[in-house]
Amino acid sequence: MGTYNVYLDTDRDSGTGSYISDIGVEVQFGVYSGSGYGYYTLTGASFSVDFASSGPVLEIRVALSDLGSPSSFDSVVMCYPSDAGVPLNTYVIGSNPQAVSVDGYVTGDWTGSSFFTDTSGDAVSDSFDLTDCWIGDDGTNLYFRMDTLGAIDLDANGDVWLYYDTSSVRVPFANYAKGDVIEGWISLTDLSSPSEVWPMFYMMSWVSDVAPDSGHATYNLAVSVGGLGFVIDSSGLLSRYLGISAAFILCIAFAVVFSKKLKH
C-alpha cells in the first residue's frame, strides 16, 4: 500500500492554511501505509477516515462535518509509493552499542539483530517494502538502518522521525543506499542527549502522481451530489516529480503523528 493524500482548501483562499499545489490546505486526509487518517493543518487535530480498496480502485469516506461542512472546496490529490515501519517500544540510549560506518555497506558493521521487523508485502513494490529496521548508538551518535525486500529504487528516500521528550526531528539519509540497505545517523547532542527516543522508519518516493495535472479541482456541494472530479492513472504512479518539498515534509509529519497515536 502506498500513500494517498487528498488536500482540501475549504475556505477557497490560497492565503490560508498550508500552501500545496496552488491551494491553501485546511484539511487533509487519506490512506497511509494501509491506514486511514484525517488531519487539520491549522490545529493539528485529527479525525476518522474509512476506506476500502480493490485492485486499482481506492474509495475513501469522510463525514462532511469533519470537513467543517463547507459549501464548496478546492482540492488536489497526490499519491506515491511508500512504506512505514513503526516499533512498539522506545529505544533506550546505550541499549544497543554499535560502531557503524554510514556508507550503505553492512559487512562488519552492525552486530546483533534488528530493532524490529516490519511486515513485508505491504508496499507497492519490493523497492520500498521495509523488512528490518535497525537502531543503535555509540554514546555520541545514533545510527539507523533500513532493509528493503528488493533493491532500493533510485527515486526512494529514507527517513527516520524521532520523538523524544517533547520534541521531534526528521533524520533524512537518502545518500547512503546500497542495494537493499539504507543507513543514516544523527548526533545525540543535536537531540539534547535524551535518555530514550521513539523512532518511526519511513521509505517513500520523491516521485508522485498528482491530479489534476495542473491547478486544482473545485467541488460545489450546493449543486453536486457525487460525480467524478478527476482521475489518477495508477499505471503512471511514478510519472512525475512532486517538486514541492513542503508537501513531502507535511506528509511525513502527518504519518508520524498517526503512527504515534497508534503507539499510545
HEC string of 66-79 equals: HHCCCCEEEEEEEE
Angle at 244 between CA 9 and CA 167, to 5 degrees: 85
Tell whether the torsion through CA atoms of 115, 142, 104 and 33 is positive or negative.
Answer: positive
How confident is the model at residue 101, as a pLDDT? 87
Q: How confident is the model at residue 98 (pLDDT cuts 50, 70, 90)?
A: very high
Q: How confident is the model at residue 226 (pLDDT cuts 50, 70, 90)?
A: low
Q: 65-69, 79-83, 110-114, 147-151 — which is least confidently predicted?
A: 79-83
CATH code of the domain in which 105 resides:
2.60.40
**What are φ and ψ of residue 229, in 5° steps?**
-90, -45
Please identify, among 183, 205, 227, the residue that sits at the C-terminal boundary of a domain.
205
CA 56 to chain centre: 21
Q: Which domain holds residue 9?
A: 3-80+207-241
Same domain, 42 and 115: no
Q: Is residue 220 in some structural domain?
A: yes
Span 52-91, pLDDT tens digits: 988 888 899 999 999 999 999 999 998 878 888 889 999 9
Q: How confident is the model at residue 117 (pLDDT cuts 50, 70, 90)?
A: very high
Same domain, 21 and 68: yes
Q: Is residue 100 in some structural domain?
A: yes
Whole-model pTM: value is: 0.65
Q: Is residue 252 in some structural domain?
A: no
Span 168-210, pLDDT tens digits: 888 887 556 778 888 889 999 999 999 999 999 988 877 778 8
Task: Write out the three cell numbers for 123.
Answer: 508496499
Same domain, 185 and 115: yes
Task: Write out the three cell numbers for 155.
Answer: 527515486
Q: How confident is the model at residue 223 (pLDDT cuts 50, 70, 90)?
A: low
Q: How many domains does the chain have?
A: 2
d(CA 86, CA 262): 9
Q: Is residue 256 in some structural domain?
A: no
How confident is the model at residue 264, as a pLDDT? 44
Same domain, 137 and 199: yes
Q: Is residue 144 in some structural domain?
A: yes
How confident is the model at residue 176, as a pLDDT? 67
